[in-house]
Amino acid sequence: MAKTKTIYFCQNCGYESAKWLGKCPSCAMWNTFVEELAKRPSASDKNDWRSTSGGGKRASAPKKIEEIAHEKEQRINSKNGELNRVLGGGIVPGSVVLIAGEPGIGKSTLMLQIALSVNHKVLYVSGEESEQQIKMRADRMSQLHAAECYILAETSTQEIFQQVEKLNPDLLIVDSVQTLYSSNIESAAGSVSQVKQCTAELIKYAKETATPVFLVGHITKEGAIAGPKVLEHMVDTVLQFEGDRHLTYRILRTTKNRFGSTSELGIYEMMGNGLREVSNPSEILISQKDSELSGVTIGATVEGNRPLLIEIQSLVSTAAYGTPQRSSTGYDARRLNMLLAVLEKRCGFRLGLQDVFLNMAGGIKVEDPAIDLAVCSAVISSLEEISVSDKACFAAEVGLGGELRAVNRLDSRIAESEKLGFKEIYVSKFGMKGIEPGNYKIAIKPFARLTDVFGDLFG
């Protein structure tokens, strides 16, 4: 017989405690502890996937690393270029990937799209939608053709494994992990112990059969459902699907990857008929306009491993009501204040009585300091009402002394600007090591100080 025991779990981070606590000592959230009945499995318990089929325990002995046989890993092509890149070149057999995101961001849409496009036998298990609803969604994505996609509306892991054994799919998708229920544990679906247990069972299945598993997990702020945070250390790869629900762009970001780099990024656009891959993101981030406007500049940033050109818009106007306002969208407000102070103190611009608004086009958040120079130029362009040529772009960090500092990966920023038809790029003089201006068609303009750049731009 299994022993039953009551444990309290923080529903936000999974912290375990023997008694109820008001505030979680681990994640500092209030009121997140919930009593859960954890059944400690005893030796006789059938706890695993396929444990019924017996099979003696394989004793494992330590092996020398050279002696471990290693086949060249065969990745499965998901037929989705952005996802392949984010995963590090395709789906690794036996890997468990968690796709986390807020409700309504498009996780189910992405997963169904993968299920429909991949050239393998896929089982899509949904605990949230009925088969009819999934079929309706699939019909909207008419451009895809499913070779072998099976749908199962089920929440019990034991039932799922029974079907899996019959069907033997090449890829298993579970939407979402919070709806799963394992009868090995008595807690409610969505509680920390259930989510952990179900994930552990799925991981075991993935490792033993080398079948890749995709898990969808919701993030909730209130901790009503166990957050996928609990699972991050269990799975091989964590992909964060983010974006603004009101804007159509979605970003798929790796936060953990045992089989690739975590600096990759995938960009999608939510269309009426599913998610469209955006393979040239710079195009969507630079608005088409017929005349040059003051206050608009282009910054060459790098997101992950990808160079991106982003339009920065600034509006500077005299503050009408006393204290000037400073507001920024997609850019750190404190950094904007710092740059304004540099412009005032080091370059002599009078910004103290001006409202300053800053906006990154396309609803994108930028943290790369290399766009500092583009931000400063946009602000001064708006202040002075002089437009900056739309054939110019910028890539340099601005220091507190008003000096331009070198940025990483300057070569790829220059190459991307050239590819998109820019004629000149303003960079820091100190970052020119290894850059041969003769190799590029784009004119590279190295400067040491902000004031020199403004002298060149605005005369």
At closest approach, how far in Å is the CB of 316 from ligand TYD? 36
Q: What letter represents residue 3's amino acid?
A: K
From the list ligand TYD, Mg ion, none, pick the one residue 449 interacts with, judged by a Cβ distance below 5 to 8 Å according to partner type. none
- Closest-CA residue to 315 (of 363, 383, 375, 257): 383
Among candidate residues 423, 305, 303, 290, the one with its CA nearest the CA of residue 360: 303
CB nearer ligand TYD, residue 116 or residue 310: 116
Annotation-wise, does 41 bind a ligand? no
Whichever of 231 and 398 has its CB closer to Mg ion, that residue is 231
Nearest approach, Cβ of residue 110 and Mg ion (Å)? 10
Q: Which residues are CB-neighbours of 443 under 8 A, at least 6 positions away? A: 423, 424, 425, 437
Helix axis angle for 157-167 and 192-209, nearest 10°, is 20
CA distance 319 to 153: 58
352 is in an annotated binding site: no
93 is in an annotated binding site: no
- Alpha-carbon gap, residue 422 to 410, rounded angstroms: 15
What's at 409, amino acid-wise? R
| Among Mg ion, ligand TYD, none, residue 137 binds (CB under 5-8 Å by kind) | ligand TYD
Q: List, in sequence order, every residue forming a beta bridge with 426; answer none if it has no partner.
A: 394, 445
Q: What's the min distance (Å) between Cβ of 268 and ligand TYD?
A: 11
- Please report the DSSP string for 116-173 in residue order: HHSSS-EEEEESSS-HHHHHHHHHH-TT---SSEEEEE--BHHHHHHHHHHH--SEEE
Binding site annotation covers 298?
no
Query: At its nearest, how many Å lie between ligand TYD and the CB of residue 203?
Result: 22
Work out how close the CB of 258 gets to ligand TYD at its nearest, in angstroms, rounded to a whole number. Answer: 24
Q: Which residue is nearest to Mg ion (CB)?
A: 108
Residue 194 binding partner per list Mg ion, ligand TYD, none, with a CB distance cut-off of 5 to 8 Å that depends on partner kind: none
Give the CB-side neighbour count of residue 459, counting CA atoms within 13 A: 4
Nearer to ligand TYD, 81 or 103 (CB): 103
Is the Cβ of residue 153 or residue 432 nearer to Mg ion in the bound state?
153
User: Is 102 labelled a binding residue?
Assistant: yes
Return the residues of window 323-342 that contact Mg ion according to CB under 5 A. Answer: none
Residue with Cβ nearer ligand TYD (265 or 270): 270
Q: Which residue minimizes CB distance to ligand TYD? A: 108
- Size, binding site for Mg ion by CB under 5 A: 1
Catalogue the E-assigned strands of 223-305: 237-243, 249-257, 265-271, 274-277, 296-303
- The interface partner of residue 101, options being Mg ion, ligand TYD, none and the CB cut-off 5 to 8 Å by kind, is ligand TYD
Q: Is 107 annotated as a binding residue?
A: yes
Q: List residues near ligand TYD by CB under 6 A.
A: 101, 103-109, 137, 140, 270, 272-274
User: What residue 105 binds from ligand TYD, Mg ion, none (CB within 5 to 8 A, per partner kind)?
Assistant: ligand TYD
Is 401 within any annotated ligand binding site?
no
Per-residue x/- track, 97-116, Mg ion (CB under 5 A): -----------x--------
Q: How, if at all, do strands 96-101 and 237-243 pair?
A: parallel
Least spacing, CB of residue 255 vs Mg ion, in Å: 20
- CB within 8 A of 357, min separation 6: which ones? 314, 315, 316, 325, 326, 327, 328
Q: Which of 314, 312, 343 is nearest to 326 (CA)?
A: 314
Cβ proximity of 144 and 185 under 8 Å:
no
> Is 105 flagged in the annotation as binding?
yes
The CA distance from 236 to 255, in Å, is: 11
- Determine the Cα–Cα distance for residues 287 and 290; give it in Å rounded to an integer: 10
CA-CA distance, 363 to 267, in Å (whole number)? 13
Q: Whole-angstrom Cα distance, residue 108 to residue 128?
A: 10
* Closer residue to ligand TYD (CB): 81 or 104: 104
289 binds, options ligand TYD, Mg ion, none, Cβ within 5 to 8 A by partner type? none
Pick what 429 binds: Mg ion, ligand TYD, none; C-beta below 5 to 8 Å, kind-dependent.
none
Please choose which of ligand TYD, Mg ion, none residue 14 contacts, taking the beta carbon within 5 to 8 angstroms, the exact cut-off set by kind.
Answer: none
- Minimum CB separation from ligand TYD for residue 239, in Å? 12
Nearest approach, Cβ of residue 125 and Mg ion (Å): 12
| Contact between 155 and Mg ion per CB under 5 A | no
Q: How far is the CB of 277 from ligand TYD (least distance, A)?
A: 14
Binding residues: 101-108
Interface residue list for Mg ion (CB under 5 A): 108
